[in-house]
Structure 1
Amino acid sequence: MNLTHEKNAMPYAPLKIIAEDHEDLQVIAACLQDALIPLSGMEYDAKKGEFHMVVNRFCWECNPESIEGQSYYARVAAGLAFHHVKDVKKKSLDLQNENEIVNLLTIHNANDGCIHLVFSGGSEIKLKVDKLCCHLKDMDEPYPTSHKPAHP
C-alpha cells in the first residue's frame, strides 16, 4: 500500500510536532482527532512531570487507496508527551482497565492552567501544567484500515 498525502503527491511523511502555545496545540489536536488509545498506553511520571501516551492516529493527511473496490485509509502509531505536568485528573476512565481503548475527540487548553483531552463517551483527562509543552511524533510506518471515522 502506497499511502500519499494527495493525488500525485509525495509518499507519507512522519509527523514530528512541538506545541508551546494554543495555536500549536490546535495543530496537534487536529492531527490526533479520532486517535485510538489503549489505556495501557498512558503513563504519568510525577517525578519527571511528564504524561505520555501511545496513540494510533488516523492519518487525515493521506488519501485513501482503493483495492478491488474497497477504500483503505491509514493509521500510524505515534507518541504524545506532555511536559511540566503537576497533576492528572480523570473523568469516567478506569486507567486500571488496560484492555479498554478510547477514542480521542480533541485536545484543548483552557484558562484554568489545564490541558483537556476529551474522549468519546464523555470521558476526559485533565492535565494541570505549569506551562504548555507537548511533543507528537510518529513512531512507525502507517498501516491500512478500512474504517474511516465519521462524525454525525
Structure 2
Amino acid sequence: MTEDARFEDAGNQPLNLGAMDPEDLQVLSALAQDSVTTVADVAWEKRHHRLALLINRLRREDGVHVSPPERVRSLLVVENVLKVSAQGVNPGEKDTVLSLLSVKFEPGEEGAGFVELTFAGDGALRAEVEALELRLKDVTRPYTAVSGQVPDHGA
C-alpha cells in the first residue's frame, strides 16, 4: 500500500507538482496563493495549447510562515488550453502586477471545463481546457521576500 506524500518528505527541495483532478488543484492553488507576477510574465502559447505564468511564489511548504518570508520563482502551467479570456487584465499593460488569490476548476462535459485564475483587484484569467492538467514547478532557489511581509487578507 502506498502512502501520500507529505511536506516533510521534500525537505528544502524545489516543488514540482501536478494537478489532474479538483482535489489536486486545491493543494496547488493553496501553494500558489499570494504569488505575484506581471502581465509580461503571462504567456498564452496557442500553438502548444498552454497558458504559462512565471510567478514569485510565497513559500508555505512547512505549514508555517518563515520569518522573514521567502519567495521562489515558479512556473504555473495550464495544459490542454483551447481559449483564454481575461477580465481586468490588459495584455498591453506589461508592467501591471498581478497577485494570485486562487486557481479553480469549473467542470464541463467529458472532462473538459474552465480553469479560473483569480487575482486581487477583480482581475481574472479563464482558460477553456480539454482536460484538467496543471503544473507548478520551482525554477529558482528561495529568496527573502523584498517586502519582508506576508500578505494580510483581513481574516
Could you tell me which runs of 5 or more consecutive residues in structure 1 were left unpaired when the two chains were aligned.
66-70
How far, CA to CA, are the matches of 2:21 and 2:29 in structure 1?
A: 12
Displacement, 1:61? 2.3
Could you tell me which runs of 5 or more consecutive residues in structure 2 were left unpaired when the two chains were aligned.
1-6
How far, CA to CA, are the matches of 1:128 and 1:10 in structure 2?
A: 32
Please report the RMSD computed on the Cα atoms of aligned residues, expressed in angstroms. 1.9
Whether 2:132 is the aligned partner of 1:132: answer yes
**Equivalent residue for 1:15?**
15
1:95-106 equivalence runs, <5 A: 95-106=91-102
Structure 1 residue identity aligned to 2:53? M
**Equivalent residue for 1:108?**
104
CA deviation profile, 1:5-39 (whole Å, cap 9, x unmatched): 89xx9852210001111111111100000000111
TM-score, with normalisation over the residues of structure 2? 0.84
How far, CA to CA, are the matches of 1:81 and 1:50 in structure 2?
A: 7
TM-score, with normalisation over the residues of structure 1? 0.86
CA deviation profile, 1:37-59 (whole Å, cap 9, x unmatched): 11111111111111111000000
Could you list the structure 1 runs, at least 4 aligned residues long, displaced by more than 3 angstroms after superposition.
Answer: 62-65
**Equivalent residue for 1:57?**
57
Displacement, 1:140? 0.7
Structure 2 residue identity aligned to 1:85? V
